[in-house]
Chains A and B, each alone.
Chain A
Amino acid sequence: EPEVTQTPSHQVTQMGQEVILRCVPISNHLYFYWYRQILGQKVEFLVSFYNNEISEKSEIFDDQFSVERPDGSNFTLKIRSTKLEDSAMYFCASRPLAGDTPYEQYFGPGTRLTVT
């Protein structure tokens, strides 16, 4: 069964460093997302991406964040200068735009980002 994959599973970085989190969405999906979850809290929307551009972003997604689809399969989230409060699980998700289940969104296993 197709699934969203993410790498790395765990990333430790020092405050101020840049990190890139990588995702491979399900191949026939057209809408891509990043969410984050601070330990013990609910999942929070960061950004949605469609047709090679951001379609929606939350107030969390400030200028330190960027997303890119560098090729036909990868979808990346970059944090330019990490802060302690960026420590969280980051989930990539994707969904098909059409078909029988256009609103069924599937999540990857997550990347645990620890900023020290």
Chain B
Amino acid sequence: GQQLNQSPQSMFIQEGEDVSMNCTSSSIFNTWLWYKQDPGEGPVLLIALYKAGELTSNGRLTAQFGITRKDSFLNISASIPSDVGIYFCAGWEIQGAQKLVFGQGTRLTINP
């Protein structure tokens, strides 16, 4: 099946800094989703991207669907303590199976 490579695996930043993480794949996805997961809870949908080149914002979060359809990035501006958590990219396979493929996650830690 298709694989997503997400980086970095972890980030340690100061409060107020901007954050950037990305996801790449060797094959094409037709939709990218970004989720945040807090400890012991389910993934919460942050942003959905449907078109190559699309740039979408949700508050301090901005995500883009790469024009090759093989990558996506998520930026968080002016980080705050509640941004701590694990961020996952996920994509819908372009053919066949109707299932989400997840990246390995980026664990974000913020020092106040």
Contacts and interface: CB of A to CB of B under 8 A. Distances in A.
Interface string B85-106: 0001010100001111111110
Contacts of B33: 103-105
Given A48-B98, A50-B98, A43 B43 contact: yes
A93 B99 CA distance: 11
A103 B99 contact: no
A91 interface: yes
Sorted nearest first, the 4 A-B pairs with minimum C-beta distance are: A107-B42, A103-B31, A45-B99, A43-B102
Interface string A14-33: 00000000000000000101
Interface of A: 4, 31, 33, 35, 41-45, 48, 50, 55-56, 58, 89, 91, 93, 101, 103-110, 112
Chain B interface size, under 10 / 10 to 19 / 20 to 34 / 35 or more:
20 to 34
Interface of B: 31, 33, 35, 40-45, 48, 50, 88, 90, 92, 97-105
